[in-house]
A and B are shown apart, each in its own frame.
Chain A
Amino acid sequence: MKKDEEFMPRILAFLCNWCSYAGADLAGTSRLKYPPSILPIRVMCSSRVDPLFIVKAYLGGIDGVLLAGCHPGDCHYEKGNYYTRRRFALIKKIFEELDMEADRLLLSWISASEGPKYAKVATEFTEKIKKLGENPAKNKIFL
Chain B
Amino acid sequence: MNKPTGAVISAKSSTKKSIIDFLEKAMDKGVFDAVIVPMRVPAGDSFAYVLIKDKSLFKDAFPIPPVMFVQGAKAVSSVTRLGKGNMKIAALMRPCEIRATIELAKLGQTDLENMTLISMDCPGVLPTSDFLSDPEKGMKQFDEAAKNLDDKIMRPVCQICDKSSMMAGDLHIGTLGAKKDTFFVISNSQKGNDILDKLGISLKDNIDSWHAKVKNISEEKLKKRKKAHKDLKSEIGGLDNLLDAYNQCINCHNCMRVCPVCYCRLCYFDSDNVKHPSEDYLQMAESKGSIRFLPDTIFFQMGRMMHMSLSCVSCGACEDACPVSIPVAQIFSMISDETQGLFDYVSGRSLEEPLPLVAYKEEELHEMEDAND
Interface of B is mostly: helix
A138, CB-defined interface residue at 8 Å: yes
Which A residues between 70 and 129 are near B, CB-CB below 8 angstroms? Answer: 71-73, 79, 82-83, 85-94, 96-100, 106-109, 117, 120-121, 124
Structural contact, A86 and B360, CB atoms closer than 8 A: yes
A43, CB-defined interface residue at 8 Å: no
Residues of chain B lying within 8 A (CB to CB) of residue A28: none
Cα(A57)–Cα(B108), bound, Å:
30
Contact pick for A99, options B233, B296, B309, CB 8 Å: B233
Q: Which one of B140-148, B155-163, B214-222, B364-372 is at the A interface? A: B364-372
B343, CB-defined interface residue at 8 Å: yes
Rounded to whole Å, the gap between the CB of B195 and the closest CB of chain A is: 37
Residues of chain B lying within 8 A (CB to CB) of residue A36: none
Structural contact, A94 and B299, CB atoms closer than 8 A: no
Structural contact, B368 and A108, CB atoms closer than 8 A: no
Known: A55-B299, A94-B305. A82 touches B372 (CB 8 A): no
Residues of chain A lying within 8 A (CB to CB) of residue B342: 89-90, 93
Structural contact, B369 and A108, CB atoms closer than 8 A: yes
B323, CB-defined interface residue at 8 Å: no
Residue of A nearest to B358 (CB): A83
Which B residues between 264 and 289 are near A, CB-CB below 8 angstroms? Answer: 268, 284, 287-289
Residues of chain A lying within 8 A (CB to CB) of residue B288: 61, 138-141
Interface of A is mostly: helix
Known: A90-B342, A109-B373. A141 touches B290 (CB 8 A): yes
Q: On chain A, which size bracket covers the interface? A: 35 or more
Residues of chain A lying within 8 A (CB to CB) of residue B236: 98
Structural contact, B368 and A117, CB atoms closer than 8 A: no
Structural contact, B362 and A108, CB atoms closer than 8 A: no
Residue of A nearest to B370 (CB): A108
B205, CB-defined interface residue at 8 Å: no
Known: A83-B357, A142-B247, A143-B298. A52 touches B303 (CB 8 A): yes
Cα(A38)–Cα(B168), bound, Å:
48
Structural contact, A97 and B370, CB atoms closer than 8 A: no
Rounded to whole Å, the gap between the CB of B199 and the closest CB of chain A is: 43
Structural contact, A94 and B306, CB atoms closer than 8 A: yes
Known: A97-B338, A108-B372. A85 touches B305 (CB 8 A): no
Known: A52-B268, A137-B239. A90 touches B299 (CB 8 A): no
- Which interface residue of A108, A138, A141 has the most chain B CB atoms within 10 A? A141
B302, CB-defined interface residue at 8 Å: yes
Residues of chain B lying within 8 A (CB to CB) of residue A72: 362
Structural contact, B357 and A86, CB atoms closer than 8 A: yes
Residues of chain A lying within 8 A (CB to CB) of residue B365: 85-86, 89
Structural contact, B302 and A90, CB atoms closer than 8 A: no
A26, CB-defined interface residue at 8 Å: no
Structural contact, A121 and B372, CB atoms closer than 8 A: yes
Residues of chain A lying within 8 A (CB to CB) of residue B295: 143
Which B residues between 232 and 286 are near A, CB-CB below 8 angstroms? Answer: 233, 236-243, 247, 268, 284
Contact pick for B309, options A83, A94, A100, CB 8 Å: A94
Cα(A99)–Cα(B268), bound, Å:
25
Rounded to whole Å, the gap between the CB of B65 and the closest CB of chain A is: 33
Structural contact, A109 and B334, CB atoms closer than 8 A: no
Residues of chain A lying within 8 A (CB to CB) of residue B175: none
Known: A136-B239, A139-B288. A55 touches B357 (CB 8 A): no
B292, CB-defined interface residue at 8 Å: yes
Structural contact, B372 and A120, CB atoms closer than 8 A: yes
Structural contact, B299 and A93, CB atoms closer than 8 A: no
Residue of B nearest to A52 (CB): B303
Cα(A104)–Cα(B55), bound, Å:
60
Residues of chain B lying within 8 A (CB to CB) of residue A60: 284
Structural contact, B356 and A109, CB atoms closer than 8 A: no
Structural contact, B242 and A142, CB atoms closer than 8 A: no
Residue of B nearest to A138 (CB): B288
Q: Which residues of chain A have a CB within 8 Å of any CB of chain B?
A: 51-52, 55-56, 59-61, 71-73, 79, 82-83, 85-94, 96-100, 106-109, 117, 120-121, 124, 136-143
Q: Which residues of chain B have a CB within 8 Å of any CB of chain A?
A: 233, 236-243, 247, 268, 284, 287-292, 295-299, 302-303, 305-307, 309-310, 334-335, 338-339, 342-343, 356-362, 364-365, 368-370, 372-373
6 contacts between A and B (CB under 8 A): A51-B303, A85-B360, A93-B338, A97-B339, A109-B369, A141-B291
